[in-house]
Amino acid sequence: MQIIIGVEHKDTDFMYIKEAINYFYCIYGNDIKLTSISLEGKGNFQNKLKTINNHIHKYEGDSVVVFCLDLDSQLDSTNKELNKNINDFCRRNNIRLVWFNEEIEEVFLGYKVEKRKKTNQAIHFIRSNKIKKVPIGNLSNEYFNKISTSNFLNVFDQIIGEFRRK
């Protein structure tokens, strides 16, 4: 199976996601291929369908598409509307949606990170094996109303299988 993961920013976001998948799930050999696609910003979610479809057609086997996106501040009406549009788009196009409230770093690290420090923080997170310190509850929230939480495990349990969770 191929899991196509659309992220806002390929560099750091995919680093956290791949680390979490490798930590929480038993992936044997080449039975699951992770393909990362940068959306080049959350607002560009509709512009990547052609790229996604190209990856699906190139792969011999089943593919699942997942967008992993920050909710950002829900107090901002523009973000709230954009998040609703993304949710609707994902439903219409059979794309799974993993959300991080408010940002991916808050879920994995417990705090916001300045833009210029994001790469170094992600590298440090991986090298220090800090995935072990992330509370499972932060990654398995059903509702997006709590800061520093995500539905990550809920979605990937459905895709990879809860029985493959370590």
How confident is the model at residue 162, as a pLDDT?
73
Is residue 161 very low, low, confident or very high in pLDDT (cuts 50, 70, 90)?
A: confident
How confident is the model at residue 5, as a pLDDT?
97
User: CATH number for the domain including 91?
Assistant: 3.40.50
- Structural domain boundaries, residue 153: 2-164
> What whole-number distance in Å separates Cα of residue 139 and Cα of residue 108?
9
How confident is the model at residue 31, as a pLDDT?
84
Under a CB-based contact definition with an 8 Å cutoff, are residues 111 and 67 in contact? Answer: no
Q: With a cut of 90, say whether residue 57 has pLDDT above it.
A: yes
Is residue 73 very low, low, confident or very high in pLDDT (cuts 50, 70, 90)?
A: confident
Residues 137, 140, 141, 142: is their CA dihedral positive or negative? negative
Q: With a cut of 80, say whether residue 59 has pLDDT above it.
A: yes
How confident is the model at residue 10, as a pLDDT?
72
Residue 150 sits at φ, ψ, to 5 deg, of -155, 165
Q: Which residue stretches of the chain are H helix?
A: 10-24, 49-58, 77-92, 104-108, 118-127, 136-139, 152-156
| Number of domains composing the chain | 1
| pLDDT average, residue stretch 57-64 | 96
* Residue 92 or 76, more confident: 92
pLDDT tens for 9-47 read: 878 999 999 999 999 998 877 689 999 999 998 999 899
How confident is the model at residue 157, as a pLDDT?
96
pLDDT tens for 106-160 read: 999 999 999 999 999 999 999 999 999 999 999 999 987 889 999 999 999 999 9
How confident is the model at residue 104, as a pLDDT?
97
